Amino acid sequence: MKLLIVTVVEEYHKDIIQLFKDAKIENFSESDIDGYKNPAALLMTSSWFPSSKGGADSRMFFSFTEGKNIDAAFKLIKEFNAELVTNNPIKAIVVPIEKFI
C-alpha cells in the first residue's frame, strides 16, 4: 500500500475524478487548497488585510491504494498533461507506507 497525493487547479476537478475512476481508485479524499506558483505571490498576500486573493483555487486529493492503481493513474495523468494548453499540469507524488492499521 502507498499514499498517492495529487494536486490540480479547480478547473480539472471533474477530470481528476474521472481519472481516478479509470485507474480503479475508488477510495480517496479531497480538500480545497490555494495554489501558488512563486514566492512573490505569497508575499504579496501576507498582509493583514489583502485586497485580493493571491492563490489559485485548487484541490488536493489523496488515496491509500495499491501500486497497480497508482501506475494506472500516473499513465493517465501523463496522457492528460501531454494534451494541456495551459501551464497548470496535474501534479502527483507517491509516498511509501511503512506501517498502517
CATH number of domain containing 89: 3.30.70.120
pTM over 0.75: yes
Number of domains in the chain: 1
| 49 occurs within a structural domain | no
The more confidently predicted of residues 18 and 45 is 18
| 76 occurs within a structural domain | yes
Block residue for cell numbers 490540480: 8
| 74 occurs within a structural domain | yes
E strand map for the chain: 2-9, 29-35, 56-65, 91-96
pLDDT of 42: 47
The more confidently predicted of residues 33 and 42 is 33
| 44 occurs within a structural domain | no
| 81 occurs within a structural domain | yes
Percent of the chain at pLDDT > 70 equals 83
Percent of the chain at pLDDT > 90 equals 64
| 41 occurs within a structural domain | no
Q: For the segment 35-57, what is each residue's pLDDT rounded down to a tens digit?
A: 777 655 445 555 555 555 567 78
Domain that residue 71 falls in? 2-36+57-96
